[in-house]
Amino acid sequence: MPLITPLPPDHDTEVAELAQFFNETLGFCPNSVLTMQRRPAIAKAFIQLNKAVMENNGRVTSDLKRLIGYLASLTAGCQYCQAHTIRAAERYGASTDKLDHIWDYRSHPAFSEAERAALNFAVAASAVPNSVDEVISENLHRHWDEGEIVEILGVIALFGYLNRWNDSMGTSLETPAFGSGRQYLGEHGWTGGKHVV
């Protein structure tokens, strides 16, 4: 059972307008945002940060950002965010090979060396304690410029916030997100956990 019950999507007009962003990314407004709107300033600031972080400025593509978010969430253990990120990766055009082999990204041919560097960074930066070291840093700089690294870490940090929010809240998974989680993650031990009512 969730710690806090989400409010209706139309509870706050400004939040509802900003939250239309999620109709593109997920196909619905997430329950996490509906809970945040109990303090509308938090919901608004979060949505604006999410939009800024997920904006596509070049080589760090929209689907790669969602796969980075997935591995950050997998590392943190948040099954709610795992379902959301794998769903959004699919919606933003991640190949079936990448969706089916995200766990094998270190060796699967669907992933480039640049993508591997970003995904290794996601896992290391999401670990507690943090395990970003010189090798990971050097490899990241070999493939990405400083602005791109800021984009990548922005995604990791955003999901650090979301992982803590949703696992602590026990946020209930929405039906479409649960379906994506079951489809892509179910064979790898994903169940939805406490996020399934």
In contact, 12 and 43? CB cutoff 8 Å:
yes
Distance separating alpha carbons of residues 25 and 92, to the nearest angstrom:
8
**Residue 1 CB-density burial (10 A; 0-12 exposed, 13-18 middle, 19+ buried):** exposed
How much is the pLDDT for 180? 96
CA distances, 3 to each of 35, 40, 141, 165 (Å): 10, 18, 41, 11
Which pLDDT value is given to residue 78?
Answer: 98
Amino acid at 5: T
Q: What is the pLDDT of residue 46?
A: 97
More confidently predicted of 1 and 118: 118
pLDDT tens digits along 49-82 = 999 999 998 999 999 999 999 999 999 999 999 9
Mean pLDDT of 30-52: 97
Most distant CA pair in the chain, distance: 48
What the chain holds in terms of domains, given with CATH numbers, is 59-190 (1.20.1290.10)
Question: What pLDDT, on the 0 to 100 scale, is given for residue 61?
Answer: 97
CB atoms within 10 A of CB 84: 30
Q: Kindly indicate the confidence band of residue 197, based on its pLDDT and cuts at 50, 70 and 90.
A: confident
Per-residue confidence (pLDDT) for residue 92, from 0 to 100? 96
State the Cα–Cα distance between residues 173 and 193, nearest whole angstrom. Answer: 10
Six token digits for residue 54? 């997920």
